């Protein structure tokens, strides 16, 4: 038996007055996910364990069966491993966003979804000014900072504080003073940088500084093959997911045109997934776009992203003869523009049928699979 999980990041939401009291998932045209609900069965999944923040790192580790309480050290090291950085046991790696701060307020956690080329130029200039700290540019606003002989710090994801004053959320303890120094130097270096001069000239948000967060040491996971006896693969344009895959020995399938944003090539992801499952036992197909739309607070973009995900589901239904599951990792509600810890709906085709007629947050609550913990999800799927 072969298995595909299609993970629509942040797809779950809340009822919205603008959509007549429906969630974006209920409102969107999703004939393929609804067909799965009518011919398969649904349930709800708790993806965020108690005492953990509602992050994609925690949620996706949990769904893949790697208990965050046992294996999680931080988001930064997962992304570092994805980027091919060989972390020393004493290194602390931080996710490092390029952000826009206006009058002491977090105006944009992504600096207007700055391009990877622009981000690389900014980081190259910054690295020259701070010896002893590694800066590594990644995809768009998602970058990395590594402190050798680091001690960690208390930090806050920038997407959680959009519209808020940053003074109360600056890094504290351990590496905090060095991180603050790096942030201050970035403001100086970026102020009149050619990248920002050009962006301001065409009305785009400048990257005013860096924002390091979720630092940690190199984690140690058991391999996916060892854990489940199955050869697994990952399709994602996000370093975090590819970092988890690399840590667990899953094959990473790179898809041309996959951007980790609203403009990703959904059809290419679907084609590559169908091809990859021919030589794999299990494939995790991660699609970031619904989450990005939620962070933007755009109902229109979130509905569009969900409908595009449904198209990928349709490709799987047409070409794949195995067990297929579709779910979000966490909600990213339009109302709050960030992640919440509420349980998420899931639908599975190939493990029985229930009376569910639609795939949605509300409908899945009455599904035959009931409420499950994410750490048990793949064991349930494979049973």
Per-residue pLDDT reduced to its tens digit, 205-249 = 999 999 999 999 999 999 999 999 999 999 999 999 999 999 999
What local confidence, expressed as pLDDT, does residue 161 receive? Answer: 95
What local confidence, expressed as pLDDT, does residue 98 receive? Answer: 98
What local confidence, expressed as pLDDT, does residue 274 receive? Answer: 98
What local confidence, expressed as pLDDT, does residue 310 receive? Answer: 98
What local confidence, expressed as pLDDT, does residue 132 receive? Answer: 85
What is residue 262's DSSP assignment?
T
Percent of the chain with pLDDT over 70: 100
**Separation of CA 53 from chain center:** 14
Burial profile 256-279: b = 16 or more Cβ within 10 angstroms, e = fewer: eebbbbbebbbeebbebbbebbee
Element (H, E) at 178: helix 176-191
Residues 359-374 have a mean pLDDT of: 98
Q: What is the pLDDT of residues 145-179, one digit of tens each?
A: 999 999 999 999 999 999 999 999 999 999 999 99
What local confidence, expressed as pLDDT, does residue 190 receive? Answer: 98
What local confidence, expressed as pLDDT, does residue 222 receive? Answer: 96
Residue 62 binned pLDDT confidence (cut-offs 50, 70, 90): very high
Residue 194 binned pLDDT confidence (cut-offs 50, 70, 90): very high
What is residue 359's DSSP assignment?
-
Residue 131, pLDDT > 90, answer no
What local confidence, expressed as pLDDT, does residue 40 receive? Answer: 98
Q: What is the pLDDT of residues 327-336, one digit of tens each?
A: 999 999 999 9
First to last CA, the chain: 11
Burial class (CB in 10 A: 0-12, 13-18, 19+), 348: buried
Q: What is the mean pLDDT of the chain?
A: 96
Q: What is the pLDDT of residues 1-32, one digit of tens each?
A: 999 999 999 999 999 999 999 999 999 999 99
Q: What is the pLDDT of residues 260-274, one digit of tens each?
A: 999 999 999 999 999
Instruction: Compute the distance between CA of residue 379 and CA of residue 29 in angstroms, rounded to an integer.
Output: 31
Top-confidence residue, 86 or 322: 322
pTM of the model: 0.85
Structural domains present in the chain: 3-72+220-382 (3.40.720.10), 81-216 (no CATH)
What local confidence, expressed as pLDDT, does residue 334 receive? Answer: 98
Percent of the chain with pLDDT over 90: 97
Residue in 347, 366, 277, 362 with CA at minimum distance from that of residue 309: 347
What local confidence, expressed as pLDDT, does residue 157 receive? Answer: 94
């Amino acid at each position: 038996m072969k298995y595909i999980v299609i993970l629509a990041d942040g797809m779950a939401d809340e009822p919205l007055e603008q959509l007549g009291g429906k969630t974006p998932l209920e409102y969107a045209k999703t004939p393929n996910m609804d067909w799965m609900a009518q011919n398969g069965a649904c349930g709800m999944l708790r993806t965020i364990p108690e005492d953990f923040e509602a992050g994609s790192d925690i949620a996706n580790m949990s769904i893949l069966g790697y208990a965050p309480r046992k294996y999680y050290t931080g988001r930064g090291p997962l992304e570092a491993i994805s980027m091919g950085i060989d972390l020393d046991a004493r290194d602390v790696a931080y996710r490092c966003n390029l952000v826009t701060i206006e009058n002491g307020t977090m105006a944009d956690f992504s600096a207007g979804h700055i391009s990877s080329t622009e981000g690389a130029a900014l980081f190259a200039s910054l690295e020259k000014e701070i010896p002893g700290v590694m800066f590594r540019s990644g995809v768009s606003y998602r970058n990395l900072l590594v402190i050798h002989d680091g001690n960690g710090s208390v930090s806050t994801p920038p997407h959680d504080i959009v519209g808020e004053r940053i003074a109360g959320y600056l890094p504290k303890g351990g590496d905090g003073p060095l991180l603050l120094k790096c942030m201050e130097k970035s403001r100086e270096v970026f102020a009149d940088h050619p990248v920002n001069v050009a962006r301001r000239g065409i009305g785009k948000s400048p990257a005013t500084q860096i924002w390091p967060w979720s630092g940690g040491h190199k984690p140690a996971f058991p391999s996916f093959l060892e854990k489940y006896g199955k050869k697994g693969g990952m399709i994602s344009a996000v370093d975090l997911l590819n970092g988890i895959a690399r840590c667990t020995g899953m094959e990473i399938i790179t898809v041309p045109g996959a951007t980790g944003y609203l403009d990703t090539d959904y059809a290419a992801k679907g084609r590559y997934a169908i091809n990859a499952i021919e030589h794999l036992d299990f494939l995790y197909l991660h699609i970031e776009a619904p989450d990005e739309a939620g962070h933007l607070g755009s109902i229109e973009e979130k509905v569009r992203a969900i409908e595009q995900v449904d198209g990928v589901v349709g490709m799987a239904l047409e070409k794949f003869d195995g067990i297929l599951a579709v779910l979000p990792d966490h909600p990213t509600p339009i109302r709050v523009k960030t992640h919440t810890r509420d349980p998420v709906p899931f639908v599975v085709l190939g493990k029985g049928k229930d009376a569910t007629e639609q795939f949605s947050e509300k409908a899945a609550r009455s599904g035959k699979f009931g409420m499950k913990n994410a750490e048990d999800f793949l064991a349930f799927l494979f049973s």
